[in-house]
Amino acid sequence: MFKPKAIYFEKEIENYPLGKELIDKYKDIPKIEIENHNAIEEMRKKENKEFGNMKRNLIIGVRKTHKFVENHKISDYLVPYTSSGCTASCLYCYLVCNYNKCAYLRLFVNREQMLEKIVKTSLKSDKELTFEIGSNSDLILENTITNNLIWTIENFKNTEKGKLTFPTKFDMVEPILPLEHKGKIIVRMSVNPEEIINRVEFGTSRLQGRIEAINKLKEAGYQIGILIAPVIFVENWKELYLQLIQRLESELSPKVKKTLFFEIIFMTYSYVHIKINQEAFPNAIDLYDKDKMTGRGKGKYWYKNEIRQEGERFFREKMKQYFPNNEIIYIV
């Protein structure tokens, strides 16, 4: 259970039920009032090596921007929802690029307002829309602090139209198993080979737990997808990812395999990651591989074309062999 070192909070949160609840829940934790969760001067000045320590704090505020971004992969819209950032420290975390050092967990207490916008948009549309609510954080993790996922599912289930989806790297799914969700929730579990989880995805759930969570969620009627992501082309990647695919094939329940779909995403990386990781995790594996990666504008890197093509060939071939009846929605 995450116990914050300090709470940084906007005064306004006291006007919201969840804000009051969190202040009370953490009454024994030191608190610092802040003007704006987007600009905490004290945090901005911290050195890169403080990155891990900064993630031990909790920031609580009110979300002010509610702009939906169109998306054409699994969902129709990416929706800013109840949190951003996370307490874990995956070395490649994409939130680090967007927020630099502020990838710590921020909670937003105006959940009623956020869900209402989703419901209204969904009802206005002629088609059945899917909303991605987990692109800025990990909602299974966040739920252990706020119960927001339980609240969301309970308050969304009776909406006439629309679905919600989110990815996760955590296995604490027990609280949502008994909920009535009416098939409106798509959970996408993100997986990587055990060795990569151990060396790169610090603070997340182990592979075994994630596989068990998938089976339990399916048993509880949730729609399930698996993200093999991000694929990291380490020295022995073919061996590691083959073992992962074989393990999924043997440990996922027949019920899961019946309707499961996959997304496969190759890792991208950045100069900001290199700098933070060198100083904050000096003993960790260096994910920047100058022989395999190339620039992608503005301090960003991705794998060279030939590596990505080889990766795509590999995954298409192995997935056809082990999961012939399951769709790969995309490989990027």
Residue 226: what residue type? I
When asked if residue 88 is in the footprint of ligand SF4 (CB under 6 A), the reply is yes
Among residues 40, 86, 229, 248, the one that binds ligand SF4 under rule CB under 6 A: 86
C-beta closer to ligand SF4: residue 88 or 331: 88
**Distance of CA 168 to CAs 165, 171, 179, 295, Å?**
10, 8, 18, 28
Number of residues that bind ligand SF4 (CB under 6 A): 11
Of 52 and 295, which CB lies nearer to ligand SF4 in the complex structure? 52
Residues of span 182-211 touching ligand SF4 by CB under 6 A: 201, 204
Task: Say whether residue 58 binds ligand SF4 (CB under 6 A).
Answer: no
**59: contact with ligand SF4 by CB under 6 A:** no
Q: Where are the alpha helices (DSSP H) in the chain?
A: 17-25, 41-44, 51-54, 94-99, 111-124, 139-146, 148-156, 194-200, 207-219, 237-251, 254-259, 271-280, 305-322
Task: Let me know: does 184 contact 156? Beta carbons within 8 Å.
Answer: yes
Buried b (16+ CB within 10 A) or exposed e, 4-38: beebbbbeebeebebbeebbeebeeeeeeebeebe
Which residue's CB is nearer to ligand SF4, number 61 or number 162? 61
Stretch that binds ligand SF4, among 7-15, 82-90, 157-165, 269-277 (CB under 6 A): 82-90
130 CB-near residues (< 8 Å, 6+ apart) = 74, 75, 76, 77, 162, 163, 164, 165, 186
143 binds ligand SF4 (CB under 6 A): no
Instruction: Please select the residue that binds ligand SF4; options are 78, 95, 153, 164, rule is CB under 6 A.
Output: 95
Q: Which residue is nearest to ligand SF4 (CB)?
A: 86
Q: Could you say whether residue 171 binds ligand SF4 (CB under 6 A)?
A: no
- In the complex, which residues of this chain contact ligand SF4 (CB under 6 A)? 86, 88-90, 93, 95, 137-138, 169, 201, 204
